[in-house]
Amino acid sequence: MKKSFEHSCIITSILTIFIIGVAGAWEEHNGKLYLVFKNHQNVIEETWENAVVMCEKEDAILFSPTAHMNSWIIEFLKRNGIENSWIGINDKCTEANWIWSDGSRVNETDLQWAKGEPNNKNVENCGQIYKDSTWNDLPCNDDSVKLPVICQKCKPCDSNDNNTTCSNETSVDNLYCDGLHRIQWNVCKPDCRPGPADILFMVDASESTEGHLNRTIDIMTYIVSKLPIGPKDFQIALMKYSYNPTLVFNFAQHSNVQSMISRFKDINFSNGPTYTGKALQKADEVRTM
């Protein structure tokens, strides 16, 4: 079951906010949230592959630090009593070709290897970060090698953010996710997700679909929740139709998932029959807007 977070802000400063959730405290830094998995006050340790799954269950990715974060990382690890932890890099698919756990390539300028690393001493294909922010390579799925688990995700947008430091796109990490040049580390194949792309949902809201509209909304919600939304990724428009088609929102109107899903709920039934031909003509107009 997916964990929900009824959360409240308890400490606020210029850069840091702590948000309480059932798995621990999400700490904000520069528009992203970071979570150390703890059991009460004890840090939970797992293998790298299990750590990836734990983060995915929180709609997050494994800790993916970049070079400009080094000073904050050192303080963050110290504050949480962590000597070292997993990070999202791995070269499971191609030796020395390091990618993040979401499949994005690691920028050369962000590689922070400790002296003599990576050495692949014991088939070491996954990344570890030390308390001084330098990196090491370790085995990915060895039960004798378990480290603390840190997850990250984008801070959810609110009315005060103006979409400048936040996102509701769970798949966005420190690198901008444009859907290109990505590798699925678990199967070592290219991520063939199409994108960037525009998607127009056409919803039949006539009386003939009564009883099925909620299912349609559920399907649309599931689809958009799995996609990165934005002008360089997926843009979504929504149209409903019965006798006459109505544009609910266009491709440029929503840049985050939650605001889009809230508009799905505005769809209601219309009297009259279904005229699909009119709807398709309207769709062609929307496409060229």
202 DSSP β-pair partners: 239
H, E, C per residue of 189-235: EECCCCCCEEEEEEEECCHHHCCCHHHHHHHHHHHHHCCCECCCCEE
243 backbone φψ class: left, alpha, beta (φ>0; ψ -120 to 50): alpha
Residues 146, 231: one domain? no
Residues 58, 114: one domain? yes
Number of domains the chain is built from: 2
The verdict on residue 165 lying in a domain is: no
- Answer with the one of 154, 188, 209 that is the final residue of a domain: 154
Residues 48, 122: one domain? yes
Per-residue pLDDT of the chain (289 residues; tens, 9 = 90+): 333 333 332 322 333 333 334 456 889 888 788 999 988 778 999 999 999 999 988 888 899 999 999 999 999 999 999 999 999 999 998 899 999 887 778 889 999 999 999 999 889 999 999 999 999 999 999 999 999 999 998 776 554 554 444 544 434 444 443 334 556 666 666 655 555 688 899 888 887 777 778 888 888 888 888 777 777 678 899 988 888 888 999 988 888 888 898 898 888 877 777 778 888 888 888 877 6
Query: Residues 6 or more apart from 127 whose CB is under 8 A from it?
Result: 48, 86, 87, 88, 89, 90, 98, 135, 136, 137, 138
Residues 78, 132: one domain? yes
The helix (H) or strand (E) run that includes residue 28 is: strand 24-29
Residues 48, 146: one domain? yes
Residues 206, 279: one domain? yes
Domain limits for position 264: 197-287
The verdict on residue 5 lying in a domain is: no
The verdict on residue 214 lying in a domain is: yes
- Answer with the one of 94, 122, 154 that is the final residue of a domain: 154
Cα–Cα distance, 275 to 273 (Å, whole number):
7
The verdict on residue 181 lying in a domain is: no
The helix (H) or strand (E) run that includes residue 258 is: helix 257-264
The verdict on residue 10 lying in a domain is: no
Cα–Cα distance, 272 to 105 (Å, whole number):
52
If one counts every other C-beta atom within 10 angstroms of the C-beta of residue 228, the result is 23
CA–CA distances in Å: residue 145 to residues 11, 85, 129: 35, 11, 14
The verdict on residue 264 lying in a domain is: yes
Residues 201, 142: one domain? no
DSSP characters for 142-204? -TT--EE-EEEEEPPP-TTTTTSS----TT--SS---S-S-EETTTTEE-----SEEEEEEEE
The verdict on residue 64 lying in a domain is: yes
- Answer with the one of 87, 119, 154 that is the final residue of a domain: 154
Tell me if 33 sits within 8 A of 166, measured CB to CB. no
The verdict on residue 108 lying in a domain is: yes
Which single residue is written with the structure tokens 């400790």? 114
Cα–Cα distance, 38 to 29 (Å, whole number):
19
- pTM listed for this prediction: 0.57
Residues 129, 40: one domain? yes
CATH of the domain at 54: 3.10.100.10
pLDDT in tens, 48-83: 999 999 998 888 889 999 999 999 999 999 999 999
CATH of the domain at 209: 3.40.50.410
Residues 150, 54: one domain? yes
Q: What is the DSSP letter of 104?
A: P
